[in-house]
Structures are given as structure tokens and as C-alpha cells.
Amino acid sequence: FKKQKKEEKINMKLKNEIGAFMLRVVLGGLFLAHGIVKFQGGIENIVGWFSSIGLPGFMAYAVALIEIIGGIALIIGFATRYVSALYVVLMIGAILKVKLSVGLMGNGQMAGYELDLSFLAIAAYLAITNKSFLALDNVLFRSKKA
């Protein structure tokens, strides 16, 4: 009976790690894509849009770079908790500053904050959960006891 319980616990841990891995890679890929698009579409357009909504224009560069560098970091599993916490802050800012006024599902002209809320929830989960396997952090920061 004890052996069965131990196996169940190991299986549950493995499932949780696989789930965290999938969330980490997908979130990283989506943020990476968002950051690349900001530069492909003309970062100066994003700078102007940031200025038009009352944010300093230079923040467009910061956000785009955080999305790109953070996206790569999440995909490879480097500094997952820190990057995810930074994404939580970005998503809260995006929801409050841009999307909240158009509602959860949008207003027909602009998307709502449903996707931002999903990104926020995934990032929050990754920020508070333990490391997942197939992560660079596991290689770089593995304790000698493990």
C-alpha cells in the first residue's frame, strides 16, 4: 500500500511538472512573438501609441525587450519565477491602463482583457510554483543534495 501511494505521489509530481513545462514554454513563445511583432510593425508606432495613452514612449522599448528576452528565458527555463513575476506586473498594467475600459470581451473595435487575464494567471502560477523539469535553472542551480 505504501509503495502504491509513493508511486501515485511521483506520478502526480511528474504530471504537475509536465503541466508547468507546457505553460512555461507556451507563455514564453507567446510573449516572444508579441515582442517581435512590436519591432516588425515599427517600434516607433508603439512608442507613439504609448505616448497617446499617457505612458512614456521609451516604455515601448522596455516592454518589447522584456517580452523578447523574457520569452526566450521562459522557453529555456531560465529565471522562470522572476520573469513570470515581471509578466504579472506587465499584465496588470496592460489590463488597468488599456483594456479594463473596454471590458472582458472587448467593445467590437478593441479586444478585451480576456487574453491578458489568461497570461496573468499563467504567469502568476509560474511565479509561485516550483521549478519544472527541462529547465536551464535545474542545470545551473542544482543543489548538491538533489
Distance (Å, rounded) from C-alpha 11 to C-alpha 19?
12
Q: What is the pLDDT of residue 99?
A: 95
So where are the chain's domains? 2-140
Check whether 114 has a pLDDT greater than 80: yes
Q: What is the pLDDT of residue 146?
A: 46
3-state DSSP: the chain helix, strand, coil percent, rounded to 5?
A: 75, 0, 25
Distance (Å, rounded) from C-alpha 24 to C-alpha 97?
25
Q: What is the pLDDT of residue 140?
A: 81
Contact assessment for residue 110 and residue 102, using Cβ atoms and an 8 Å cutoff: yes
Check whether 145 has a pLDDT greater than 60: no
Q: What is the pLDDT of residue 44?
A: 97
Check whether 132 has a pLDDT greater than 90: no
Percentage of the chain exceeding pLDDT 90? 75
Q: What is the pLDDT of residue 135?
A: 87
- Which band of pLDDT confidence, cut at 50, 70 and 90, is reported for residue 84? very high
Distance (Å, rounded) from C-alpha 140 to C-alpha 146?
13
Distance (Å, rounded) from C-alpha 66 to C-alpha 75?
14
Check whether 144 has a pLDDT greater than 60: no
Q: 67: burial class by Cβ within 10 Å (0-12, 13-18, 19+)?
A: buried
